[in-house]
Amino acid sequence: MIRLLSIICNKGHHSDLRSVSEAPLGRVCVGLLVAVVVCMALPSHAQSYSYLPAVPANYQSKVTSIVHHKNFSLLYDSRYNTPTWVAWALTKAHTYGSQERSDKFFADPSIPKGYRVDWYEYKDSNYDRGHMCPAGDNKWDRSAMIECFYMSNMCPQDRELNHHSWNNLEVACRDWARTEGTIYIVCGPVYKKGVKHAVIGIHHKIQVPEGFFKAVLSLRKGHEKAIAFYYDNNAKYQSYNKVYTTVDKIEAMTGLDLFANIPADIEKRVEATANIKDWK
């Protein structure tokens, strides 16, 4: 196998590769090596989307396809011009990195032009462009850092919430990823039924959510657990030690199935309970 890898990596030995691959065992080994090389070349999110939430059966957005970027995926809602949810796997390795924060916001080219919000549409709105997948989770890669500033990853968020309570939870998630090895995160806006939402924007009507949710899952073998959080979209300080809840309650509030693809017995167990002490 090592000999085969050295042949593949050496571009001047095509004849050696051909002779080895002609043998039955050689063909198997070459096939395995190609598969390994392809998998290594893929970004981590491309290898598995099994952690993503389900698309709601009655989803009324005119944008119905899940959008995949290097470090996160999202479902976009054309009714509000914000994401319905943003999801990503946060590994211990991805909590470190030397990439500086971009701070350059861009329209997401993956979103159809008619619903593609641009950076200037939050100007003078008194709301921050609030990251769902935070810049701090993308310091490990330059492309990931740039993409997390796509406007499809933003919601109108109260400035104090963005800079303090929401940020504190983002920092805590990175600590939890270092402890658990990998955690799976889903977050997004909450638009309450029967409420007239505030609206911002220039070329698009961007509706302001009344709150935000974040759900966190660990599948560390023998220690599977989940927890969720709900924040009001206002300036008051909200400690994650006080606003945590169960995934089941967030799903009832939003109508989403957040961890739809994990084994049913684990899903039922971890989504029904939450204890912040389990994450210390």
Whether residue 147 sits in one domain with residue 51: yes
Q: Rounded distance, CA 50 to CA 206, Å?
A: 30
Residues facing residue 211 across a β-bridge:
190, 232
- Vertex 36 angle, CA 99 and 137, to 5°: 20
Structural domain boundaries, residue 75: 44-279
Whether residue 21 sits in one domain with residue 112: no
The pLDDT tens digits along the chain (280 residues) read 333 334 333 433 333 333 334 444 444 343 433 333 333 333 344 446 888 999 998 899 999 999 999 999 999 999 999 999 999 999 999 999 999 998 899 999 999 999 999 999 999 999 999 999 999 999 999 999 999 999 999 999 999 999 999 999 999 999 999 999 999 999 999 999 999 999 999 999 999 999 999 999 999 999 999 999 999 999 999 999 999 999 999 999 999 999 999 999 999 999 999 999 999 8
CATH code, domain with 213: 3.40.570.10
Pairing label, strands 82-91, 73-77: antiparallel
Whether residue 149 sits in one domain with residue 16: no
Ranges of beta strands (E only) in the chain are: 67-68, 73-77, 82-91, 128-131, 154-157, 182-190, 199-200, 206-207, 211-218, 225-232, 244-245
By annotation, the residues acting in catalysis are: 131
**Whole-prediction pTM:** 0.83
Distance of alpha carbon 111 from its chain centroid, rounded?
A: 16
Whether residue 59 sits in one domain with residue 19: no
Q: Total structural domains in the chain?
A: 2
Whether residue 50 sits in one domain with residue 90: yes
